Amino acid sequence: SAEGGECVACAEGTFGAEARLAECSACTANSTSPPGSTHWSNCTCDATFYRPASGVDACCGAGHVHNPGEARCDPCPAGTFQAAHEACTLCAPGTSSPPGATTCAPCAADSFAQAGQAACTACPENATAPVGSTSLWNCTCSAGVVVTAGAGAAVCGACSAGTFAAPSGGGCLPCPLFATSPSGSGGIANCSCSPGYYGPAGGEGNCTACPPGLT
């Protein structure tokens, strides 16, 4: 632009692409240029930002991709990530991500995710799963808890008093005769002889009635 009859160089962060301009144009967001620049290509992206492609006047941040239709940078959608300024990629099973992510985080314990999930899904109540689980099938009933609504349904419920969870996970088994257990028992060792009876620890074997005068 002219000041007092003299032409002055475009300031840092601007450029003048044509002669006889009244004022210089600003570089696109997240970029700058040296004084006296004559074209937007003299604008260089700031640190941690990148130019999506040659000839594109835009500077995108990590986890963002260029939207040519809107002339802007948009974050990668939730459930995806961007590595090394490439296209957005689906998160692998067992991981998830928020919008604009550069990596996908493993699912925490007791949750799971299929590919491309924005957030991991919690296992059903009374079920657990290891870190990075990929499916509902990775959720298993906690100790003393069994599947109560069909194979693979992963609806887990505690064994009732007087029973214990079968070692094979096939359901709840009753304590031996004249023995009982608290609800949620995880094995026969939780069974003990009922009041008025005595026998081996865990109720394994016979619980015998106490002699008269003894409890």
pLDDT digits (tens, 9 = 90+) for 109-167: 999 999 999 999 998 887 889 999 999 888 887 766 765 554 444 567 788 899 888 77
Backbone angles phi, psi at 188, to 5 degrees: -65, -20
At 70-98, the pLDDT tens digits run 778 899 999 999 988 888 999 999 999 99
- Cα-based distances in Å from 85 to 51, 53, 66: 9, 10, 10
Q: Tokens 């060792």 sit at which residue?
A: 189
User: What does the alpha-carbon distance between residue 101 and residue 52 come to, in Å, rounded to a whole number?
Assistant: 17
Average pLDDT over residues 99-118: 96
203: helix, coil or strand? helix
What is d(CA 192, CA 138) in angstroms, rounded to the nearest whole number? 33
Q: Residue 82: name the closest of 102, 67, 104, 106 by CA.
A: 102
Spatial contact of 114 and 139, defined as CB atoms under 8 Å apart? no
Question: Residue 203 above 80 pLDDT?
Answer: no
Reply yes or no on whether the pLDDT at 40 is more than 90.
Answer: no
101 pLDDT higher than 90: yes
The DSSP call for residue 136 is G
pLDDT for the residue numbered 205: 65
Distance CA 132, CA 110 (A): 9
On the question of pLDDT at 38 being above 50, the answer is yes
Q: What are residue 136's phi and psi, to 5 degrees?
A: -55, -30
Taking 60 as the threshold, does the pLDDT of residue 2 lie above it?
no
Give the pLDDT score at 3: 55
For residue 141 the two structure tokens come to 């009933």
pLDDT tens-digit readout, 176-196: 889 999 988 888 888 889 898
Q: Residue 173 — very low, low, confident or very high, per pLDDT cuts 50/70/90?
A: confident
For residue 14, pLDDT beyond 80 = yes
